Structure 1
Amino acid sequence: MGNPDESDDRASRLGRIQTIVHEDFERIQSTADPYVVLNLAPGSDIDEVRSRYERYERFYRAENFQRLGDMDLTRKALDIRRAIGRAVVEIQSRQQPALQQNQKAASPSRAEVPGVEPDAAAMGDIYFRDGLTYLRLGDFNAANDVLTRAVTYDPSRGIILANLAYTRFKLDPTSREMVDETSRLLTQAMSMEPDNPEVFVICARFAINTQNHAMSRRAIDRLEALKPDHPRLERLRRRARH
């Protein structure tokens, strides 16, 4: 039998989390001012902006909310995370345009592709990561929405396009037109990021599911060449043989 004090503590903690989330959610819904979104005074310096973003980002990570088992709370947490990401990008572009070359707060470091503005790349990455979270939750409609936005912000990344294409396929896997379109988009994604093993994992999964033997061989061979110790490689090989 569980300890009633522990149950009371969990219920109290959940209540506090719900209160914080609802207050933050109401605030981001009521304003377009990036400083208000971050609950900062207007004109706060960039170090304070980054510090506040990092604090919010740690709290609003999806895994913190998945454990609570409250889908509505998880969705609101993801909405808040995107809003604070947009706020940081906007403040950085206002205060110090030179900082756009060093996007530390709103996105992980990666090589920028020429032709994509740094602010757009940062927002694309935020939506992409939220799309991956929705995929882990099995919510393909929500994943489709945020991944579509990610591609709109940053059309240069094959991994985003691959995840979007596969998500749309999962929403309508029996449509011949969807299968053909997914095949086309995944082929495009492979050409966009020929050295990204995760692109080829997605392509192999799709090709195996649709019995596209030529694509599955190409994807698995490329994955093996890129990362022979990839944890999914052996399973993909086995599935392709059956």
Structure 2
Amino acid sequence: MTRPGLKIHVLAGLLVIGVLVSGCSGGEDTDTGPSEVFAADVCSEGLLSPDAVRALELLTGGATPFKPPKNVGDVAWVAGVLERGYAKIGASLGGTVCRATPADRMNYHDLSVSFEIEHESTRMGEHTESGKGYYWEYDLGRNALVLPDNGRLYFDCASDRLAGPDKSVPIKARVSLRQAPTDVDPRALREANLTILHSAARALAKEMGCKNNGNLPEQLVIKEKAAPTR
């Protein structure tokens, strides 16, 4: 004979198991986001101008669908990271604001955009790397160093969020491409990288409240300063 108390405990246990099973079953999908996105939506809102969106399409092999970005902050987030890092140690590794990963596994043209503030005592790369002759130099911001598969743009930010309105802090914007297309003219690839850098840097300069938008023009004018020497 089954004791009444035992029957109650068994029924309660079955109810708990039923709730757990229904919660783990695929009855209702909680992931309602898109399975793919395109160039206009792969980066955080406001980061890329229409010209920069077209540049991203060129660098990644055309009108390519991308995996939905994950673990990537927006412009407001990276501005906060830069601000807090600079307040603590006078530098910040910043973070990534765009990661464009093609949905096609055979497309290796992954692209990312990030920002950083290098410490004043250890700052390197802005001019020393160009002095080594590895990069094409462009007249944009403090300096712009670009190759077909990557680029760096240094621009001044005088802002209350950093060192105040009377002291400029160089911010580095970086674009990186895992593998550049081989069927596109290298000059077009360099200028596409520069277009993305200009748009992203302008967006961050606006968010940070940089004086004169970091001295970055509203419209990009591509002007070469120097070619690689090696």
TM above 0.5, yes or no, is: no
Higher helix fraction (1 or 2): 1
Higher strand fraction (1 or 2): 2
- Higher Cα Rg: structure 1 or 2? 2
